[in-house]
Structure 1
Amino acid sequence: MIGRILDNRYEILEKIGGGGMALVYKAKCRLLNRYVAVKILRPEFTSDEDFISKFAKESQAAASLSHPNIVSIYDVGIDNDIYYIVMEYVKGKNLKKYIKEKGPLSNEEVINISKQIALALNHAHANHIIHRDIKPHNILITEDGRVKVTDFGIARAVTSSTVTNTGNVIGSVHYFSPEQARGGFVDEKSDIYSLGVTMYEAATGKVPFSGDTPISVALKHLKEDVIPPSLINRNISKSLESIILKCMQKEKSKRYDSALDLYNDLNRALTDPSLEVLMDFEEDESPTRILPPINDVKLEKREVKAKRNSNKKQLFLGVISALVVSIIFVTAIFYNSFKENFFTKELEIPDLTNVSYEIAKNKLIEMGLKIDLEREQYSKKVEKGYIITQLPKAGEIVKEGYTVRVTVSKGPKMVEMPNLIHKDLDEAKIILENNNLSIKEIIHKYDNDLPVGMVIDQIPKPNTKIEEGSQVNIIVSEGRKIQTIIMPNLVGKNVEDAKSTAKRLQLIINNIDYEYNSDVKKDTVISQSIKPGSEVPENTVLSIVVSKGPEVIQQPPEEQELPPIKKTLIIPLNFDKDVETVKVIKTENGISSTIYEGTHKKEEEILKITVTGNGKVKFDVYFGDKLVYSKEELFE
């Protein structure tokens, strides 16, 4: 998917997240030149036409929401059976990761985050949109601390389709409300319950209910009372705890009536941490009664008079019976309480951390205690199948039959090693970071085929299972290795032989100067710019001086006895090769001589040579052995 362009507009850059319904990518909108987040639905949801219809409808409704605490939806589209939503790109992290990094948050931080979520929900509920999947994973925190709620609309589409058609309950089981667990009617108060669970986790670092299976967790939402968060984190204020517990009431009528009411209580909790929120537990003082029709009143009076004597006897017997039952009931309660407090054995909780779950289970059963595997989680420090934490802690005193809740290690989380071979080093680093891996060592190696900076090999190999967070080694190309050469002695060689020797050894003769020499034969190398025997890298550039033989002095005609005139000869370097030899032959008074020879690169574009002469002088320019053009100049 990386590199793909959806609808010729959204270029997928990198994967930044994913869940049960969709994968999330960072992308760039080519039309508006801005970064966006693109959520692409998983294939299993795209085959249901009813779901797709509801998904499009709900996404468009959610796109109408505009609030600073809600992630904006920009676009909804389809590209070759790829269904996607384009959203605001939020630079930051989700609340789940934030809690995982920091642990239980302070009262003030929990309240400030929850207030912003409540404002987002209040805006959505005012527009008749229910989120249905409020959880820390869907709460984003920007780098400047602003809270943004995401995934409005998609949860409703999924719930409507799957619950109606199959009876399955869709959502995050640890966070959804009792009515969602039953597959019942969901409204604004369902979002408030899920926000309560989210607040509970932010304040304690733990979810209120956990179990071996989603069904067991759902049943706990329906039946079990939540452990007060202050028993897990003693620093939680009374006001915050009472707000959380009110949000998490199993009966909807006992929760907050609206997200705005919740927001107002959170504001009060900031100023008065000891304030306790009132719970709506009162009984109805005026229960509904069924009144008889007016025409039947006289008939009822006669019936009541006839039965009055009989009722007196029944009343007397009823009072006696009730008194006997009450005495028996109170006696039973007193006996059970007395038995529990004075005859139930008290036990000290043993230390179960770093102990095998099976061994701990047998030990607790032998002691007369029970064990509940509350959850399993990945751990690098604790071996798989061994206990990470326990509640109550070691040393606490409990009654016989008490249940000890434990968290068991799943061992280190394993991920698949991605394929980095033939990737650029910077791209390889991004891929590793996206897979929670890092580089331990970069080994540089020469390679004749791959350019500098490309990955040649990796350790471990691609598709190998390794621990999340592991460090890996990668081997990166340094390009082709440069060979070193011993500089040959070109002095005394014919100029053509010198050129051949340089070419064979991958040396470049950049410039050839010609000068008269009475002692050295014509076209023989007199000197070279680099000392023979020196160690130099291949493609080293040098220059040589070549003899023109002895200078022949001729008596010039009278008209040429004047001093020579200087001019600049400009030669365009428009040859086809990247590097070419340029030679200039001057013909003056019928005498031809090479006045310049040198190697030049095409990128130099032009070559300027100072030439001298008197009268009419011809210049022949060669690129290699090919005559390019001839030019006559008049020197006067």
Structure 2
Amino acid sequence: MEGRILGGRYELLEKIGGGGMALVYKAKCRLLNRFVAVKLLRPEFTTDEEFVKRFRVEAQAAASLSHPNIVSIYDVGQEDDLHYIVMEYVNGITLKEYIMQKGVLNWKEAVNIVIQICSAIEHAHKNHIVHRDIKPHNILLTKDGVAKVTDFGIARAVTSSTITVAGNAIGSVHYFSPEQARGGFSDEKSDLYSLGIVLYELVTGRVPFNGESPVAVALKHIQDIPQEPINLKPDIPQGVNDIIMIAIEKDQKNRYQSATEMLEDLYKVLKNPDMEINSGNGENVYDSPTVRMPSIGEKKAFVEDKESEKTGDNTMKKKKRKDKTTTVLAILTSVVVIALITFMIGYIIWPALTPPDEYVVKDYTGMNYYQVKAELENNKIAVEPKRVNDEKMDKDLVISQDVPPGTKLVRGGYSKVVLTVSDGPVLVEIEDFANMDYRAVEKKIEDLGLKPEVVEEYSDDVPVGLVIRTEPGEGEKVKLGKKIWIYKSLGPEIKMTKVPDLIGKTRAEAINLLEESKLTLGKIYPEDKTNTVDRIVKQEPKAGESINEGKSVDIYLEEFEVTEQKEKIVKRTIALTDPDMYVEFISVSVTIIRSDTGEEEQLYDEIKRKTDFPLTLSIPVPKDGSTHVKVYLNSELFTEFTEEY
């Protein structure tokens, strides 16, 4: 699947995980230029309508949630037979992997992680979504220690009334609640039970119930009383111990009734670790054992018997005491004899007659090391891992074993199985190559056994030829031979545009055309515009030339000759009669009709501020003739008049 592009934008780079329903790939979104995680429904389920329906429910449920401790959903789609969900890519590890690395967590660190998970669960519950598969495998930890809940693959709305789909109980056997084990109604309190099991494992390094089969573990959830964490790790504060025991109560009524309640106690215990925390759900039934109360008639007879005893003779009392002593001695003797016989049969005779308890070794190749380890240790067989890098086997899968399948080993003896376990392919950590020469970075990446590919990109901050960034970026680990994109700076982007044709246009028209071409108006010639008409006769640069955006264009206005004999210039001032009627900027347009031509001409067309008034107009008037003038403000006729010579 690596290299395939889904939806025309998501390029699958490498497989990073998988579960019972789906496979997860790291991918790159070509549209938004970022890394994402793509979850693909396993091929064997694409023909199963029920599984497809559950896969879609995951997207619908998670997409409605927005919380910093919940993995975000970006997109959902289908291509051919592939159903997929695009979600936030979290650069980190699962909480299960973190537990395996550290073994047992400090109680404060554990509580802080669980507070984040509980906060996410609280948000989901308020949106009527029950996760129903809370476990360390479904919690991601970022490099900054932020916990994010993922995989709402079996979540349903609270209104659902069962936890079975297609006849199978949903959830993970070591973490699901008694009601899930029974296939009964599950609600928000089921998630809190699972969260209690997670906290139990964080502070003790083990889950409370284990067994040879999933059914055995499920029965223990229903029937067995778990050992209190404080008995396994005496340094656990009493408050933490109490929170765990309340959360994993078998009866839903005795658990926390909401994630908010559990959050409150988690915050309290950070401040006062040794405080005792009670569930607050009624009396403890163990403090009030069931007793039989005699009826009224029985009580009367009981009193009469007592009175009769007091009036009996001393001889009868002595005889009764002697008989009682004899009976007690006989019972004690019988108990001792039975205990001795039981000991001899159980520890001396029976072991000698019974053959040793044996375990048959299986073929563990390709199985998860931690599952194999748990199975062997549950059968009292020692396990020794031998870690090696392997390009073909995913991390934590068993490559080989020193004891052949079918071999019989004695449970509890000195038997040991050495497992060769994959550490996955050799990974190379990417350095910080920003602001380095791209050719030097190419060489370094090649020396690391990776494949560089240069991508050119404009940048306002990074000089030409230096590296803007790499993908994958600093701190990320990749397999040998993987492609690394080097983004080389081209410097600031310079965009070109064509100069529009301004000849014959007015100054206002020229400004609009220049703005559309992302240019500005430069100088206006002649500088003395007294003897000019608002009509452009020349421009620099010329129309059609390509220049940089933001540059200016100079214009030349049409000039007319003024002679004393032919015409004169009359100055006329235009003042606003009521300035309050106008906004700050006013469009001023002046047209004239001279008697010698009889044609309408544009004398003036500009945008002026209200403070520029009064304006002085220079009006040409032909000799022995007249000029009719019309003044428009904001396209409305303001005044008109005639000047004569």
TM-score of the aligned structures, taking structure 2 as reference length? 0.49
Using the size of structure 1 for normalisation, the TM-score is 0.49
